Structure 1
Amino acid sequence: MAGVRLLLLSDIHANFTALQAVLEDAEKRRYDQIIHLGDALGYGPHPHDVLEALRDLDAQCILGNHDQMLLEYVDGTRPYRESVVASVLKWQISRLTERDLRWIRTWRDGIDDAEVGARYRHGTPTSLDDYMDSVPAARAAFGQWQGMLAFVGHTHVPAVYATLNAPVGDWIKGHPLSDVTTYMVPPRVRVILNPGSVGQPRDHNPRASYAIFDTVRSAFEVFRVPYDIARTQEAIREAGLPEVLAARLSVGK
C-alpha cells in the first residue's frame, strides 16, 4: 500500500476561525486526505461556513453526537428541552441550507478504512457517544474492539491509548499530548488515537488542536495552533448564543 498522510480533525463545533487557522497550518505539513471525526456542529457561530469548507475539501466526515442531535431536531424525533446544547443547535438549524442537511445525512456513525487499516468513530471504536478519557475507559474499549488502529474524538483532549496485541489487561498506557508531540506507534501494539478539538479544546490550552498520521512512519503528530479567539467570541455574542460558550474558549475548557 502506498503511504498516506491523514489530516485528522475533530470537534470543530462550528468555529470557522479556528478551522481556517488549522487548515493554513496543515497546508505547510502536507497531507493526502482529511478525516473529520465528528461534531462539526454545535456550540459555535459558523455552522454553514464550517460545512462548506469541509465539503469543498472533500473531507471524509464521521457523525458526532451534536451532528446527530441536530438531525433529530430537524426530523422531530428528539423532544426539545431547553439547554445550552439544544438552544445552539436550534439556532444553527436556521443557518443551514437544505444542501447542508442532505450532506450531514450522508455521514456515518463510524467507518472502517481497509486501505489504512483503521476505524474512525466519534466516541470510542464501538460507540458514538462514550468517552475515551481514562485508562479504565480504554480497557473497556479495547475489550470490545479487536482492531489495531482507531481514531476517535469527543473528549476535546488529544491523547493516545495503547495496549499490547494480547489479552486485554496485560498492559494499557495512556499518553496525554500537548503542543507539537510525535507518538511513534510501536509494532504489534494496538492504539486508539485522539487529535483533540479544533474548535473547543478542553485541556486548558486554548489553541486549536489537530493531528497528522503518517502511515509509512506509523507516526501520530499533534499540533496546536493559535487563532483569533476574540473573533469567534464576538461572533458568538453577536448571534445571541450563551455567554459561557465565548468565555470557555479563552481558557481551553
Structure 2
Amino acid sequence: MRALILSDIHANKPALDAVIDHAYMDGARYGAVFSLGDALGYGPHPREVLEVLRGLNAQCLLGNHDLGLLQLVDGQRTATVGTGTQVLVWQIGRLSERDLRFVRTWKDVIEEPHLGARLRHGSPLSLNEYTDLNAARRSFREWGGTLALVGHTHVPAAFATLQGTDAEWMRHQPLAIPEIKSSIRYPVPPKARVILNPGSIGQPRDGDPRAAYGVYDTERRCFEVFRVPYDVDQTQRDLRASDLPRALADRLGRGQ
C-alpha cells in the first residue's frame, strides 16, 4: 500500500494545490490519503483547503490549531491576544456550518492497520507534543507500536530505535533536501521502530520555502519526502489583503 501523507497545510491553498498536482502526476495512485493535522491556522484559505481535503476523501487528524478553532466556536476558549488566535477568529468568519461539521469529524489519533501505524499530530503520545529527541525517547518507552506518522514541527525528520531496546539508543535523521533535488528516501531499517514526519505543506520551518509532503510504501518499507515549489507570492498577497499580521506573509518566503 502507498499512502499519501499531508501535514500542516495551514490554510495555504497554492501550496496544497502544488503538492496535489505533484503527487498525482503521471497517474499516481494511493491506497489512502492522510492529513496529520493543522489544515487550518495561519493561512488565508481555510474554506478552500477544506474543500480540497473533502475531494481527496482524506482521513484527517486534529491539530492544535484545528482543535483551537473548534474550542473558540464552542466557547471553550477565549479569544486572547496572539497571532495564532487572531487568525483562527478570522477563519471562523469564513467557514460554513458544513465546514465546521467536517472538522468535528477529525480524530485525535488514528490506528491504521493497513500501514501498521499510529497517526497523530504531535507525537505518538499527544496531539500537542513536539517530537524532538526527548519526546521521541519518551514515546518509544511508553508507546508499544513500531511505526508512527506525526507532524507539528514543520520539519521533515525520522527517529528510529531498535525493537526491544529501552529507547536510549536512538537515531535522529533530518530529512533535508538540497535545492537541486526534489525528494529524499528513508528506508525503514529492519526490526526498527520509527517515528516519521513529512514536514509542512503550508508553512515549512527548515529554511526551505518549498511545500513538503510524504509518501509511505508499506511493501518497500520506504518513506519518501518531496519538496515542491509553489506560488508563494500569491499566498503572501492573499495574506496581506486579509489584513492579518504581515509577519505571516514574510516568513513564507524564508521557510520559517
* TM-score range for the pair, normalised by the shorter chain length: over 0.9
- Aligned-pair CA distance for 1:141: 1.4
Partner residue in 1 for 2:130:
131
Per-residue deviation, residues 176-206 of structure 1 (Å, max 9, x unmatched): 0022110111111000000000000000000
2:131 alignment partner, SS class: coil
User: Contact 1:164–1:170 (CA<8 Å) still a contact in 2?
Assistant: no
- Which of 6, 31, 36 matches 2:3? 6
Structure 2 CA distance for aligned equivalents of residues 115 and 14 of structure 1: 29
Percentage of identical aligned residues: 56
Over 3 Å counting, the alpha-carbon distance change for 1:16 and 1:167 in structure 2 is same
SS in 2 for 1:171: coil
1:193 partnered with 2:223: no
Consecutive unaligned residues in structure 2, runs of 5 or more: 178-182
Gaps of at least 5 residues in structure 1 are: none
Query: SS where residue 250 of structure 2 aligns?
Result: helix
CA deviations 1:193-236 (Å, max 9, x no partner) are 00000000000000000010001000000000000100000000
Q: CA–CA distance in 1 between the matches of 2:153 and 2:168?
A: 25
Match of 2:180 in 1: none
Distance in 1 of aligned mates of 2:228 and 2:141: 34
- After superposition, the C-alpha distances for 1:118-145 in whole angstroms (9 at most, x for unaligned) are 0000000010001012x22211111121
- The answer (yes or no) to whether the contact 1:178–1:224 under 8 Å persists in 2 is no
Q: State the distance in 2 between where 1:35 and 1:26 align.
A: 13
Q: Deviations over 1:43-69 (max 9, x none)?
A: 000000000000011000000000000
Q: 1:13: Cα distance to partner?
A: 0.2
1:19 and 2:16 equivalent? Answer: yes
Q: Hey, what's the Cα distance between the residues in 1 that align with 2:130 and 2:42?
A: 18
Deviations 1:45-95 (A, max 9, x none): 000000000001100000000000000000001122011001100000000
TM-score (norm 1): 0.97
Matched, 1:221 2:224: yes
Does 2:254 correspond to 1:251? yes
Distance in 1 separating the partners of 2:207 and 2:245: 20
Normalized against structure 2, the TM-score is what?
Answer: 0.95
Letter in 1 for 2:90: W
1:81 is aligned to 80
> Whole-Å Cα distance in 2 between the matches of residues 188 and 20 of structure 1?
36
1:184 aligned residue: 187
In 2: Cα distance, 1:169 partner to 1:150 partner: 15
Aligned length: 249
**Aligned-partner SS, 2:226:** strand
The amino acid of 2:41's aligned partner reads: G
Q: 2:244, 2:128 → 1: CA distance?
A: 24
Residue 215 of structure 1 aligns with an amino acid whose one-letter code is T
Q: Among residues 145, 148, 162, which one is paired with 2:146 in the alignment?
A: 148
Displacement after TM superposition at 1:170 (Å): 4.5
Number of the residue aligned with 1:113: 112
